[in-house]
Amino acid sequence: MATLWFMIVAVMVAAYVVLDGFDLGAGVIYLGAARTPQERQTIMRAIGPVWDGNEVWLLAAGGTLYFAFPLLYASSFSGFYLPLMIVLWLLMLRGIGIELRAHMENPVWRGFFDVVFCLSSLLLTIFFGAALGNVVRGVPLAADGYFFEPLWTNFRVNQGIAGTNNGILDWYTVLTGVIALVTLTVHGSLYIAVKTEGDLNRRARAVALWAWPVQLFLTVIGLIATIYIRPTVLDNYKQHVIGFLIPAIVYGSLAVMIYAIRKGEGPAKEKLAFVASALYIVGMLVGAAFALYPVVLPASTDPARSLTIDNTAAGQHGLTVGLIWWILALILALGYFTVLFRMFKGKVRIEGEGY
């Protein structure tokens, strides 16, 4: 049952990154790809009906983590207190930027909220990537299962174990943050290409085309860096050879992505590139979860202190009963998102309802 809930949490995190990831990516390219007020309004209409619904998956993943692995929730949210507060502020500022610009006729204020939206989206991608990097690298867990990390101490991290003086940011977590930034920028660009036409469509595809080689390069460098700082990530792959399908999916999706982008404009190719980007993100996250299992939060000081699914899971009865309610909630959520995306399918237009 603990393994099943580990998989459920991983799925919900992946759903959040795929869905809200294209909103964040759209925010990153917002000021660069959209040159006119009409084009910026088009991007807002592309994400407007779905962005706040997509963020529900983040709340749901946090709630599921609290229910299924309460010790992990308590340890992570106390140790990562500072970056979590930063993330909460960025989420609020992003929402403010989206909502308030629509109520401002003054071009100065509208431009101000456009910058707030773009900058908060960019920083969120970096912090989310750095958070994943911290989980993979490990944190200085004490004997009671808790820890605290400052925002940074120094940017060094050694092979094998990260040490006792970790900061949230070091060379490895900054690298994972940059990988997340580039990945979600491409993801958002491909979504905007799916939803728009004309010059904005071409600029969005151009961003994805130019960022793709960087994404490929960072994917390779990220894999090498991960093996360097934590060689044990390969253990599960060596024991279960089927796991090597995951990197095959990751690099295969990159190949499909560049093929579809280079084939040019057209709904079919645009959707294919976007789906390949989503598959890449899922593959990266599933690969990290597969490498860590059964550990949910590695200890950088003493591997014996690592938090696992066994020493952090809730009681068997609670997990069993909760699974029933989770399935019912998932059916409702999937039904809602199916109706939502079908209702707002197609290209965005400024005139009329926008679709």
Write out pLDDT tens, residues 198-212.
899 999 999 999 999
Distance linking the first and last C-alpha atoms of the chain:
44
pTM, entire model = 0.93
Torsion angle, alpha carbons of 336, 331, 129, 74, to 10: 120
In eight-state DSSP terms, residue 155 is S
Collapsing DSSP to helix, strand or coil, 139 comes out as strand
Kindly report, residue by residue over 245-300, the tens digit of the pLDDT.
999 999 999 999 999 999 877 888 999 999 999 999 999 999 999 999 999 999 88
Of 170, 171, 189, which is closest to residue 181 (Cα–Cα)? Answer: 189
Q: Which residues contact 128 (CB under 8 A, 6 or more apart)?
A: 17, 87, 177, 180
**187 contacts 206 by C-beta, under 8 angstroms:** no
* The predicted structure's pLDDT at residue 168: 87
Q: Which residue reads 């308030």 in tokens?
A: 100
Residue 160 has phi, psi (to 5 degrees) of 90, -70
Asked if residue 300 lies in contact with residue 140, where contact means CB atoms within 8 angstroms, the answer is yes
Whether the bond into 294 is cis, omega within 30 of 0: yes
